[in-house]
Structure 1
Amino acid sequence: VYKTMGEYDKAIEYYQENLKIQEAAGNLIKMAWARTNIANVYFAFEIDFELALEYYQVSLDLFLTHNEEKPEDVLGIMGLAQTYMNMGIVYKELDSIDNALDNFSTALQYFENLDNSAGIAATQRNLGSVYMEEGNFREALEAVQASLDYYHEIGQLKEEAEDLKNLGKIHYHMQNYSQALEYMNQSLVISRELDLKREMFDVYRDKSNVYRDMGNFRPALENYELYTVLKDSSIREENLNQISELETKYQTERVERENVLLNTQNELQEAQVKRQRIFLFSVIGISIIILVFGFVVYRQYQEKKKANILLNEQNIEIKQQRDQIFQQKQEITDSIQYASRIQNAILPPDSMLSKLQEHFILYKPRDIVSGDYYWMTLKDNKTIVAVADCTGHGVPGAFMSMLGISFMNEIVNKSDETQANEIMNQLRGNVISSLGQTGEEGEAQDGMDMALCVIDTNAMKIQYSGAYNPLYIIRNNELLEFKPDKMPIGIYREKSKPFSNHDIDIEIG
């Protein structure tokens, strides 16, 4: 449960307690699965892949020992198969391709011995993924096709959609564009039937890439727009689900409060009926009982009056709190609107942008304020432009964007630096320093992705440096792509290295 909630520290704590219990009991199978659970947490939350691998290795040794003692035990064989596959996945993330392939191949043998179709399909898919990343597309096609056949046999439509999408990607890399589109369309049909929004917008993005490389830019644009709409819809749906959960919690608490109030009212009504009976009997009885009953009624009346006064005061307090919350929401919204005007004010003015002969800017914040920004300046007869995508959306992203603009102004306008990659290196240093990033485990890895160009129209050259964001140039009806560095402007879990600098000749027109 804690793993599902994302509280990995609690999950590991309880899994460790379970491991102690299983070690005390001496049950090899349960000891192995306990260590596998711990390894799964370290891997799933990207805490420590090496440590996850160590736990998987100990699990594997325990399963092997159990298998020697009970070679026909299905649970032991299944444990071996699953552990080899898990280790293959970790090795793949660590870019240890040979080890990944060895472990996946061993896992496949065990799953085949068990005649476990789901395990065979999953392992073949993992093999196909490794082959595709290595550029071994023929082997990738065979593995993914085998995975598709097994999933089709056991009726796993969702997994069929994933494999069809992967077959489309492989044919795309092999430049078999018509076959790529055929497999992608088959995946899209299943994804629509099952309402798999994430699979659908992945396929639309992949189809856009295929049409783009075929030179069919209109369907490329149409599919990219469908990808964007579905992606935004999926994000909104996740937010609506969170709101629905909060609303359900609120409604549940409200019903509980109403039940308590109803029970109180029932108790008061029962007490009133009882008093009426006593009064009836008292009339028949002696006058002393009548006087006592009258005193009791009066006292109860006073208590009820006090209860009504208290209830009225609580209703007034609830209304005041509601009005206060509404006022706070309005003030926060007004404040964010004002922050948006400030953010727009520090972007390059039209007078600056007009110095670019032909240009357009698509800048549409998802929230009131944006985590994206663009920047431009002129220095030493060179035009320096940059676009960036900061960590987060809304207010957090806006703070990062203003920090980025401030540092860009400081680096370029207050120094003589006009080399693209050096500007990026200095910006990364400033971001890490200002955010106090150390790279310690559990630390937030805030930063930004960026593409930066230094345009020298006199020399007819462009310097380009990128952090995850590529540069595209259309020349002679051909789309040229310049790859970025696969690291952000900010702290990175791997050792940071200087950004690359691309010198590109440009032409008039």
Structure 2
Amino acid sequence: MKKHLLFLLAFLFFSNVFFSQTKIDSALNMMNVDSIHDTIKMQKLYSAISDILYSNPDSVIILSDIAIDKVNSSIELLDSSENEILTKTYYYSTFNNSKGIAYYLLNRRSESLDMFVKNEKIARLKNDTNSILRCNNNIAVIKQGEGKSEEAFKIFKENKKLYTLVKDTGGIMLSNLNLASSFNTDSSIILMNEIISLHKKYEYESILANVYSILYSNYSDTSSPETMDYEKAMQSLDSLFHYANKQSDFSHIRIYYSIKSDINFTENKFYEALKNAEKAAKIDKEMTGLTSPDILSQLFEIHKKLKNYKKAIFYLEEMVENKDSLEKLSAKEDITKYESEKEFELKQKLDSLKHLDEIKIQQAETKAKEEEIKTQKIIEAVLFVGILLVIGFLGFVYKQLNTTKKQKLVIEEKQEEITDSINYAKRIQDAMMTSSVYLKDTLPKSFIFFKPKDVVSGDFYWIYKDQEENIFFTVADCTGHGVPGAFMSMIGTSLLNEIIIEKGIKETDKILSEMRAQIIRSLSQEDEGAQKDGMDISLCKLNMKKKTVEFS
């Protein structure tokens, strides 16, 4: 739950507060007004972006691109000036930083890193120590997310020394926040309390939601009993929610609802847990378009406890699907970056060729003055027609090849997604069945011969030994094959655990009767004509001490 906050390079342009959408509309309308200087337009747009940075990162990327395009085409902004606010590099740095933070919030780490590396180069050209520090801090945060903790820790530690040297309070607070994850619980709490003390003196509120998130994690950490404090943990959680709301920080609001759901679940308040989990899922969906696997897992467990098996299966299925999508996201980011680099390289080559073509055209025009006008026109016409024919033919061939390639990639991608989903479902089914180790411990002279027709199966086995030396074992064949049968087998396994282990029913006939009733109720099969999904099952109870066998 410890999460690093990327440093937003702040420029305080205006003090008037408007609603976010009104500010965006006003800034965009101003873009085409020639009487307004481009510096005013950039300041207005940056102010609007700052208001929605954490609540709507997708829009921040679009608006930042609009700003950068305007900077590129501007004739009022200068390449260099003693007044930094008049330079193009100033605004490149500003809007690249906003894009970098937005990409980070959307978990597009590769693109985020690219933005901060660009800014670091700009800062070094300007010899701007403060900007270099902030860029290095953001790069270190991303490196830590990639598992390069030692590299990140060195950067954070060095940055804090430099921030202290230049007396940059915001930088010191940020360094404490990032260093917290590399220290033990007690030291982490000290660093966070130092940030809170600095906040009271200098009124920095933008990182407080993250600070209280880390404090909650520390005070509720069961592995550190010396720092555990339930009351302080709850106070930290309330403060997290307060400052997240104040800053419209939906990422931390989502964390708050997820934590509250976990707490409700442990207290057996399942309906309250469901309400908070659904709020967290809604924020996830609005921010990224997907619900994260941890929230889906919460919803699955809650609905299972509430015996809403249909919904439980729905969230389990969505969890598998979303996990596959998230695993592919990192690879897609690398491909996108590679394609962007190639596109830039190609553009440079085309610009060079275009320049050479312009020189050749000028030479041809000079030479044409010395030749007969009629002959020159005939030659140019023949060349033009020939070039058009060649270009048209090459364009047609390229289009056909590109279409074929895209179709092949789509087919391969869909096939891979289906295969991955089925293999993941098999791992879940294998995890729910009785392990071979437990089987050998319970019945040493036994074996399992399990050869399913498909990757996942509607057949399952189950074994359990209670404190009275009763050994329950069963073999079942569910209706349907493949994935539908596998879902039925998981319902069967869950019901056996509930009826025998949790409810303590020992008679085999009563167990199967109760199991049948719950399947009919959970799958809504009471109505006449409803599809009769279920399973064929044999259940035995063996007592080695009494030498008795009971079966149904």
Q: State TM-score, norm by structure 2.
A: 0.45
Q: State TM-score, norm by structure 1.
A: 0.49
Structure richer in strand, relative to its length: 1
Q: Which protein, 1 or 2, shows the higher relative CO under an 8 Å CA cutoff with sep ≥ 6?
A: 2
